[in-house]
Amino acid sequence: MQVQPYLFFDGRCEEAVEFYRKPLGAEVKILRYKDNPEPQPGMVPAGSENKVMHAHLRIGDTSIMASDGRCQGKPSFQGFSLTLTVPNDAEAERLFGVLAEGGQAQMPLTKTFFSSRFGMLADRFGVGWMIIVEQ
């Protein structure tokens, strides 16, 4: 069994996927609403045919799935964070900087009793991230 996060970007999925692709080394597959051979009436607002119905991001050994959902422009990511466990301080600092660009640092990357670097942020899409150096 696997548990995989599924994020709904409410119209900004492709932008988010491109933002994550390079710094996280994500392998990405995208299906658009227009590619659905059995579209459901009323499922997607008119004019959203090119939006992302389903995206699969493979980051290391982890899969994250994403979608534009109903494309209503109101993404909400509350009550959880995605955690990146990295091998060293330099990688933690690089990823924290990239993901925080246009977002908000909630806890600056710092040394803690449990890690040489740990920090928390919300990226430009509102997704919470925790970055920790593996001990």
Q: What is the pLDDT of residues 85-99, one digit of tens each?
A: 999 999 999 999 999
Per the listing, tokens 């710094």 go with 23
Contact between 70 and 45 (Cβ < 8 Å): yes
Domains of the chain: 6-67 (3.10.180.10), 82-133 (3.30.720.110)
Instruction: Tell me the three state secondary structure of residue 34.
Output: helix
Task: Place 51 in a pLDDT band, splitting at 50, 70 and 90.
Answer: very high
Look up residue 113 and give its two tokens. 């009793």
Distance separating alpha carbons of residues 85 and 80, to the nearest angstrom? 16
Does the pTM surpass 0.95? The reply is no
Q: Which of 15, 20, 38 is nearest to 5 (CA)?
A: 20
